[in-house]
Structure 1
Amino acid sequence: MTKYLQHTYTKVADHRGKKRIWLQGLRLELAGFVKGATYRTDYDIERGLIELTLDEEGNRRVSGKKKGEGFQSVVDICNADVIDVTQGKELVRVDFAVGFVRISVHHLVNKKTEREQRFVQNLNAGKLTEGTLCSGIGVATAAIHEGLREQGIKSSVSWIVDRERKYLQVASDNNNAIDNNTTIFEATLEELEPELLSPVDILQVSLPCTLHSKSGKAKNKRQVTEDHADATSIFGFIRALDKANPSVIALENIVEATFSATYALIEGMLEVLGYRVYKNQLALDSEQAGSFEQRTRDWCIAVSAGLPELDTSKIPAFKRRYQILGDLKEHVADDDPAWSDNASLKTKAVRDKQKGNNFQRHLVDDDSTFVKCIGRYYSKRRSTESMIVREDGKERLLTPTEHCRAKGIPESFIQGVSATTAHEGLGQSILWGHGRGVGQLIARDICRPLLSKLTPLPDVTDMYTLVNESARQMSLL
């Protein structure tokens, strides 16, 4: 086995109209490339290699640069052959061993080239692949999948990952984007073995949001977001990203997450890996989603730098289906146990007001035009989340079906699911219009310009009021 003395990752520079690789100092002399030594240069275009081998009859000579009382060895490769071997790539790896030096294209450049070529090939073959980390019941997965489909882009979900079996079960049973060919991983990101993941073209990620929220920090008595066990998921994400090597990455989280150190690290790493990162440009709300529920999510989309750019100023938006609560309500009988006096919550509201706490209740009726953000633990009847009130003062939570309608999520997602699990799965999901809009954006700006044979479709660039008819029909079943 070859004993390497040094590995250098460096740039291919421009020099007088040619490409140049400049090597100086460190272990050059130990490898035998001392000032005045001769060597030959072999170019292997097919394998993308340049090899320098010490040779007394070689036609190249190691030069030197004055340093102190002596010289520092210099190898300067500057000719037209460099661009043929590197194929215009700007980064290379240089391996030093006794008697020879090998130059090859940088591994990050190779990964970028591989994913972009795979994306274009799969796109034109009608088989883009998707994967999801922290999927929950898979609402974001299905919504993006739907957005792609509406733009004529065929795709399939290769795998999903989540640590909660009950959510994966809902996804497996009720999510139309998940089929028998989708591999399910029941695992945390930290324990997931990346080598088990297949490469995918589009990766959707929903990292844990509770550690970023104000309530989450207060509950756990933390000042710093990353002072929480869930923060280690970033390392699992980066490891999975290396294996999946997607061309497009769509991360969503609460707005506070955007300003965290976790996201600063993720965004910086994505740029190093060769992605164009669109951040702080996609804070999607109920206006964009056309939803009855008020919920804002910040999206960070990363696109491999060699693919077309996104126009995030034209994210598709959708018409609102329900104008008032009475339009989306189910009938719940007056004597149904769902109705309650909620005396303890009413007492707490009075106490909070006296203390000056900003915990205000949000009671809605048939004429209400919105509900507040419904969270994961809605079933616990927390004091600040929306509850329906009737004339006699009794109150109830929204039913899971009403919860679906408020978010615009197809009701088929919760078929046969307990109310508690349904509220949990929906409560930590995006608004359907968010994912659908992101899917259409990816399809419109990245996929369709790369298709060799286009099927004419309506110009959705200006159709910001499209209605998701298929989701609407599903919700009526």
Structure 2
Amino acid sequence: MLKYTEVKEELNINIDKHLNDGFAALTHYWQNHKNGVSQYFKPAAKEYLQREILSTIEDPDQLYIPFKFDIPFPPKQNPKFKFIDLFAGIGGIRLAYQNAGGKCVFTSEWNNYAKKTYEANFGEVPYGDITEINEKNIPDHDVLLAGFPCQPFSIAGVSKKNSLGRKHGFLDETQGTLFFDIARILDYKKPKAFMLENVKNLVSHDKGNTFRVIKNTLTELGYSIHYKVLDAKHLVPQHRERIIIIGFRNDIFNGNENFEFPNLPKPKAKIKDILEPIPDLKYTLSDKLWNYLQDYAAKHKAKGNGFGYGLTDLEGISRTMSARYYKDGAEILIPQEDSNPRRLTPRECARLQGFPDSFIIPVSDNQAYKQFGNSVAVPLIQAVAKQLVKVLEDYGK
């Protein structure tokens, strides 16, 4: 049997040139041709294959060639449930829910570098801009997942309600934001449950107005809501607080879903456990950068501010890694004997977020730093997924 990478070679697919919705449709078709949702992807997949890859396809069955997924995280066989992965990034949430027994049937991510990493690990290219995706073209699913960007709701964008022909309250309050796209998909597809992930400050953002709109919107859409701020330090050596919002359809569970957030173990992970034994010298800070960071920290300390670099205790945990880590690595620096400190390597960043070493990093260091800084702590999301899936399984009994 052919392998996925061999099929791409046979079709002369250079992934850098195919990070578009056409190849997204084809890879989605390949992953879903037998599970009842292939009709959502087949027309676009066939059109793309005919137009961009093959001049003619006489037999529609040529759309799918039996092959084996030779990628780190192939699609789940005999899944317990189906989910979609929105604002997918590099797939941290997908990985957690696949590990919990789920099958991803649709994914969306706008950044091409993230798409490249996603495809290398899952064998699927995400669709692009979620604002351009019609909710009618998304397959039915049990769980909607989204690590969505936080935007203020106080400034309304261009109204979409007229074009959509609906006048729900949430359209008025959330228009012009990316949360609007989650709301319209929930409204149309009505999955049994959802999980949303965001920064801790979402709760207090815009004096609480943003979170009020989110809660009211989700309630208005017919879901009972559970939310909690969880710290990944219980499972990885990183202080990383995130709010997790869980919802279950009222007309299915009647508010009796008996969902509980996971009881996390006492922190025991240490930074030293994720370090590579002999990192490349290029990760050691130059004298110029190290002197700059020290001077910068001293200046702000004199003003009574807390800004500055973070020299990490190897027996402890790190600060929160952010997408800006690529700039200078200041928030998480590793001390070294007889040398300037160094930043984490991309592989160490992956480990800090709980990604297994089999996770492929096909992009530059700078892009990898951005991607892992924007991602989730996989073990934390997986602990939440286990609790959510338990509710679905109890309902099915």
Q: TM-score range by the shorter chain?
A: 0.5 to 0.7
Corresponding position: 1:156 with 2:115: no
Residue 207 of structure 1 corresponds to 148
Name the larger-Rg structure: 1
Match of 1:391 among 330, 334, 337: 337
Residues in 2 aligned to 1:375 and 1:250: alpha-carbon distance in whole angstroms: 22
Partners of 2:106 and 2:263 in 1: CA distance: 27
Once the 2 structures are TM-superposed, how far is the Cα of residue 335 of structure 1 from its aligned partner?
4.7
Verify: 1:238 aligned to 2:183, yes or no.
yes
Q: Which aligned pairs between 1:52-451 and structure 2 lie closer than 5 A?
A: 126=79, 128-146=81-99, 148-149=100-101, 155-175=102-122, 179=123, 184-187=126-129, 189-209=130-150, 211=151, 226=154, 232-260=177-205, 261-279=209-227, 282-288=228-234, 290-305=235-250, 306-307=252-253, 308-312=256-260, 315-317=262-264, 322-323=269-270, 325-332=271-278, 335-336=281-282, 338-341=284-287, 342-365=290-313, 367-381=314-328, 383=330, 385-444=331-390, 446-451=391-396
Query: Deviations along 1:334-354, whole A, 9 cap, x unmatched?
Result: 854634231211111111122
TM-aligned CA deviation for residue 394 of structure 1: 0.2
| 8 Å contact kept, 2:82–2:105 | yes
- Equivalent position SS for 2:90: coil
Secondary structure in 2 matching 1:302: strand
| 1:234-290 alpha-carbon deviations (Å, 9 max, x no partner) | 2222222223321111011111112343332222122122211112xx2111344x1
Change (3 A) 1:252 1:165: same
Contact 1:250/1:300 (<8 A) preserved? yes
Segments of 5+ residues of structure 1 without an aligned counterpart are: 1-124, 150-154, 212-223, 453-477
- 1:182-240 deviation digits (Å, cap 9, x = unpaired): x72111x333222221221100111114x5xxxxxxxxxxxx67559896112222222
Higher strand share: 1
CA contact (8 A) 1:340 1:395 kept: no
Out of 327-336 and 434-443, give the one that drifted further.
327-336
Task: Decide which structure has greater helix share.
Answer: 2
Assess, with a 3 A threshold, how the Cα gap between structure 1 residues 406 and 254 changes in structure 2: closer, same or farther: same
CA contact (8 A) 2:259 2:388 kept: no
> 1:371 is aligned with what amino acid?
S
8 Å contact 1:376–1:425 — kept in the other structure?
Answer: yes
User: What is the distance in 1 between the residues matched to 2:367 and 2:109?
Assistant: 15
CA distance in 2, matches of 1:232, 1:425: 22
* Residue 396 to residue 423, structure 1, CA distance change in 2 (3 Å): same
Give the letter for the 2:244 counterpart: W
Residues 8-63 of structure 1, C-alpha deviations (whole Å, 9 max, x = no match): xxxxxxxxxxxxxxxxxxxxxxxxxxxxxxxxxxxxxxxxxxxxxxxxxxxxxxxx
Partner residue in 1 for 2:6? none
Measure, in 2, the Cα distance between the counterparts of 1:358 and 1:184: 40
3-state SS of 2:355 partner: coil
Would the aligned equivalents of 1:286 and 1:294 in 2 still touch at CA under 8 Å? yes
Structure 2 stretches lacking a partner, 5+ long: 1-77, 158-174
Alignment CA distance shift 1:207-1:337 (3 Å): closer
Query: Alpha carbons of 1:433 and 1:127: their partners in 2 closer, same or farther (altered >3 Å)?
Result: closer
Task: Provide the TM-score with structure 1 as the length reference.
Answer: 0.57
- For the aligned residue pairs, the C-alpha RMSD in angstroms reads 2.6
8 Å CA contact 1:318–1:433 kept in 2: the answer is no
